Structure 1
Amino acid sequence: MVLGAGIILILFVIAGVFGSILIPYDGVNTSLSDRLLPPGGQLSGGGVALLGTDQLGRDMLAQIVAGSRVSLTVAFATIAIAGAVGLVLGVTSGFFGGKWDALISRLGDIQLAFPSILLAILLAGVLGPSLVNVILALAITRWVIFARVVRASALSTRHLDFVDSARVLGASNSRILLKYIIPSCWQPLIVAATVQVGLTMVAEASLSFLGLGVPLSDASWGATIANGRDHLASAWWIATLPGLALALVVVCVGILGDAFRDHSDLLKNG
């Protein structure tokens, strides 16, 4: 199961990176003469729409491939930014403690009081629809998760014997952080990141579904699903196929995340 999930994710990554080369169709070009073609339908230009077309004649396969690029870009960029911010703030809070710990912890508590998706909708609505704004909005809603994971790891490490020994020998705080504290945070940070990848992709699709995600000039799974709402009875493939792609990727990410977490627990306990 883990191997299959990994292969599926690799295929989606390849499609997202090289999709424009592999697929001869553009996901945003319209052709009203080819609108609402079912999967396998014949295009007016002589080609075949393997996954059909939408109400504007756009090729569904091309839209799904382009949407995978957007979803993966948003997911990995969001995790990178939120993880970096969470690492810095979590280490500061857990290692130095005191007023820094109180300030960062209270700030995290305030943010967690709001549902993350509502906060993302608010931020995306204020910033406007664009790929960069979606990444920033989602990163702001997720840094606190990484910060708390890192803080817990830093708290459990800073008073261990080898850290106290280094401190007695005259090691500076920066050396202790770089050599002992931060390396101990990588494993739980990566585990948290694998969990957040799928959730971030769902959040991006939700924002695009509401019209707050990427611009209309870019294909997105959420926007494609929204476009198919009015055609569920006559053209089910418009909303169903990108929804299945999103569900498949999220499930595969969850499987790999669970496998990595189990492996990390074995290494930690072994």
Structure 2
Amino acid sequence: MSAPALEAPARARRRTPRRTWIALGVLALFVLAGLLGPVLHPYDAVATDLPSRLLPPGSRTEDGSLAWLGTDQLGRDLLANVLAGSRVSLVVGLATVVLGGAAGLLVGLVSGYFGGWPDAVLSRIGDVQLAFPSILLAILLAGVLGPSLTNIVITLAVTRWVIFARVVRASALSARELEYVNSARLLGAGHLRILLRHILPSCWQPLLVAGTVQVGLTMVAEASLSFLGLGVPVDEASWGATVSLGRDYLGSAWWISTVPALALALVVLCVGAVGDAFRDASDPRAQL
């Protein structure tokens, strides 16, 4: 094999950390924007100013302030709206993964370790839920519970716990037959001790990989529900709701829908890149 052919994989491996660092940098800016948005840009995201409506990016409002990203059809500052929407996406994404991951971890441990009828019952419940498209199930639950930040987290956690449960179940099934687990069982260790000391540590890595990927997918799901009017209330900013409200102004005020849509796409792509890098780093076969 020629030298250039041997150097190509090495160059590919060297480019991967660079993309990962860029993605991490973008996500860090996203988190800082969500946490420090009111300090960096102290404007009310839902305050209306009709004389300053539909101003393009870089325009001056009636009070003389600069609208960096323009204003929407109600005169609301789009930059403040995007910063507030990033906070909502961050809270929903992390809270959903934590809540759904905790439920999936518990179900997966019980199902994978004990097997038998608990595994059969829990697996069939998961199969029934997976038979329905997750977005349709989310629309149904959100419509029943009503628009609320808490309700949207509960809704998305209900649609996501099965994914975490299957990941943990697969790890628990393989870990329960290992020699050190059998040795602990022969020495008289109880089920709880074996689960916490021997089975659970082997489940953390795949669970974290799945959680990293699901953060981005959860943000997309929240934006989709807010786009349909089933997400956060109207008095809170959301990227999906802003995109929905700007549909009628795509020809005259394209920035209303374009800016939050680009922000969502960029964040989801970076989350996916970090999730892929984390998966490759945790999988020894990917490093061969």
State if a TM-score over 0.5 links the two structures: yes
Match of residue 85 from structure 2: 67
The answer to whether the 8 A contact 2:212-2:275 is kept is yes
1:13 aligned onto 2:31: yes
**Distance in 1 between residues matched to 2:287 and 2:243, nearest whole Å:** 44
Counterpart pick for 1:33 among 43, 51, 75: 51
**Distance in 2 between residues matched to 1:189 and 1:81, nearest whole Å:** 13
What SS is found at the alignment partner of 1:114? coil
What SS is found at the alignment partner of 1:72? helix
1:215 aligned onto 2:212: no
**Distance in 2 between residues matched to 1:74 and 1:162, nearest whole Å:** 39
The answer to whether the 8 A contact 2:97-2:214 is kept is yes
What TM-score do you get using the length of structure 1 for normalisation? 0.98
1:153 aligned onto 2:171: yes
The CA deviation at 1:82 is: 0.3
**Distance in 2 between residues matched to 1:161 and 1:267, nearest whole Å:** 22
Structure 1 gaps, min length 5: none
The answer to whether the 8 A contact 2:281-2:287 is kept is no
Amino acid at match of 1:255: A
**Distance in 2 between residues matched to 1:267 and 1:64, nearest whole Å:** 40
What SS is found at the alignment partner of 1:235? coil
1:108 aligned onto 2:137: no
**Distance in 2 between residues matched to 1:147 and 1:60, nearest whole Å:** 39
The CA deviation at 1:62 is: 0.3
Alpha-carbon RMSD across the aligned residues, in angstroms, is 1.1
Amino acid at match of 2:23: A
Stretches of 4+ aligned residues off by more than 6 angstroms: 267-270
What TM-score do you get using the length of structure 2 for normalisation? 0.92
Q: Percent identity?
A: 67
Structure 2 gaps, min length 5: 1-18
**Distance in 2 between residues matched to 1:177 and 1:192, nearest whole Å:** 20
The CA deviation at 1:24 is: 2.0
**Distance in 2 between residues matched to 1:30 and 1:268, nearest whole Å:** 52
What SS is found at the alignment partner of 2:283? helix
